[in-house]
Amino acid sequence: MTRKFFGTDGIRGTVGTAPITPDFVLRLGYAAGKVLAREGKTAARRTVLIGKDTRISGYMLESALEAGLCAAGVDVLLVGPMPTPAVAYLTRALRLSAGIVISASHNPYDDNGIKFFSGAGTKLPDTVETAIETELARPLQCSLSAKLGKVRRIDDAAGRYIEFCKSTFPAQLDLKGLKVVVDSAHGATYHIASHVFHELGADVIAIGNQPDGLNINAECGATHPKTLQEAVKRERADLGIALDGDGDRLLMVDAKAEVYDGDQLLYVIASHRMRQRQKLRGGVVGTLMTNLGTEHALTRLKIPFARANVGDRYVLEMMQQRGWVLGGENSGHIISLDHHTTGDGLVSALQVLGALRAEQVSLAKAAAEVKLYPQLLVNVRTSRKIDLNADRGIQQAVAKATTALGANGRVLLRASGTEPVIRVMVEGKSRPHVTAWAETIAASVRKAAQ
């Protein structure tokens, strides 16, 4: 069955426009509840945890989800604003049926979305998402009063997650003497991130920690590192850490205000594990967007590397297929399966900091072997679906660029799984050539979209 609502990362869109409306989310909660009730073996297992980021629409959607789940006879635990990876952790730790996050991640405040975790703290299998869509097509029929779900709030959720994050940092190390700026993007980590690093000994300057429902990801966080760079320079800090609105992405900045993306940070973690003889269980999974410079640096260390489709769920799938424990995306999603079931910005930051402290090196030195190729990503917004493989103009532009760039360059076109956008990526040794070809291919996509 072709899924109508679920994309690569749940269901996402503009608030007030289908499907992100109160009536749809009510029906989604009911449909998910009915499916999860069938999946659960006992009544005690039919409990779902709901977390959200700091968007103003989260209140409305939380209430709708809560009502739908209760109507289906499923109990609900509420944790309020909580990072996406925290919901995954708490769902698993509390032995629940599922976890739900109300978030549009790095998108602006007027978008929102719903994403699910299984009882094991992983993304729902395609079969379960398909079953929920099938249930959505059926009428909503409220359970009998005696079988309605109940709701209660977990007041210590943040503290539990903070302790979990700290437990992933090497017990023999600390962060004493380190001055760190932490940018929470006015998002779900605003009341958590600074505590994690401070309790490990760091001197923390917190920014992006004043959410008002409208400022999430607004010129801050992992999608806008300039704010962090300026703060690191102003505070004369040793490092900067930027998270996105729901806390699963990470970027870092060194003392000179240089930005390090997910590719470079993944290399720092992998190379340290190899030198310390920690288990890599084979190698590292990246994506089609992973920079060639990272792949070449890993190859020089004889660390196997494989590319998955773009999206953390596809990275995770390939990691599980190969039995590997480390993978990630250049956007800053990094997965360490020996610590967590999903990408976690805080856990990933602690993995990098652990490597730096253990080897007593700077971030710049730890990542020095990664010589990133110039890479340009152009997002072309479209109002209709385009068959990228069938459009002659697009294919001609791609063929010309591929020939011109040669063996040390790449062209990648893909439709976003979360936005009405075609992403055009061009990578090569010469920045002017990369820019020119990216603009040429993007122009051909815009023409096809007319």
Region label for 201, one of left (φ > 0), alpha (ψ between -120 and 50) or beta (otherwise):
left
Residue carrying the six token digits 């005690």: 44
Tokens of 127: 């079969």
Please state, as a whole number, how many other Cβ atoms lie within 10 Å of the Cβ of residue 394: 23
Number of Cβ within 10 Å of residue 421's Cβ equals 15
Supply the pTM of this predicted model.
0.91
Is the pLDDT at 428 greater than 60, yes or no?
A: yes
Higher pLDDT, 300 or 418: 300
Which tokens belong to 136?
């959505």
Report, as an integer, the average pLDDT of 106-119.
96
Residue 391 structure tokens = 């459009």
Backbone angles phi, psi at 390, to 5 degrees: -100, -20
Which CATH code, of 1.10.287.3240, 3.40.120.10, 3.30.390.30, 3.30.499.10, is assigned to 167-240? 3.40.120.10
Give the residue carrying structure tokens 């020095």.
368
Query: Which has the closest alpha carbon to 423: 384, 365, 372, 381?
Result: 381
Over the stretch 11-32, which tens digit does the pLDDT of each residue have?
999 999 999 999 999 999 999 9
| Pairing between β-strand 284-287 and β-strand 326-328 as defined by DSSP bridges | parallel
Residue 37: the pLDDT is 77
User: How much is the pLDDT for 218?
Assistant: 97
Where are the chain's structural domains?
Answer: 11-155, 167-240, 375-449
What's the CATH code, domain 11-155? 3.40.120.10
The whole-number average pLDDT for the span 129-141 is 94
Average of per-residue pLDDT across 106-113: 96
Mean pLDDT of 308-324: 93
CB 176 within 8 A of CB 224: no
Check whether 421 has a pLDDT greater than 60.
yes
Segment 172-218, tens digit of pLDDT: 999 999 999 999 999 999 999 999 999 999 999 999 999 999 999 99
Q: What is residue 206's predicted lDDT score, i.e. its pLDDT?
A: 98
The model's confidence at residue 45, banded by pLDDT at 50, 70 and 90, is: low
Summary mean pLDDT of the chain = 94
The confidence score (pLDDT) of residue 390 equals 85
Cβ distance 193 to 222 under 8 Å? no
Report the percentage of the chain scoring pLDDT > 90.
Answer: 86
**Residues 359, 365: Cα–Cα separation, whole Å:** 10
The reply to whether domains 11-155 and 375-449 share a CATH topology is no
pLDDT one-digit tens code per residue, 240-271? 999 999 999 999 999 999 999 999 999 999 99
Residues 6+ apart with CB under 8 A from 302: none
Tens digits of residue pLDDT in 354-377:
999 999 999 999 999 999 999 999
Q: Which residues are catalytic?
A: 105
The predicted model gives 392-403 an average pLDDT of 93
Q: Higher model confidence: residue 210 or residue 279? A: 210
Query: Comparing 13-22, 51-60, 94-103, 389-398, which segment has the lowest mean pLDDT?
Result: 389-398
pLDDT band at 39 (very low <50, low <70, confident <90, very high): low
Q: Are 100 and 114 in contact (CB under 8 A)?
A: yes
**pLDDT, tens digit (0-9, with 9 covering 90-100), for 375-389:** 999 999 988 888 888
The third-level CATH classification (topology) of the domain covering 375-449 is TATA-Binding Protein (3.30.310)
Q: What percent of the chain has pLDDT over 70?
A: 97
Give Cβ neighbours of residue 94 (< 8 Å, ≥ 6 apart). Answer: 47, 49, 77
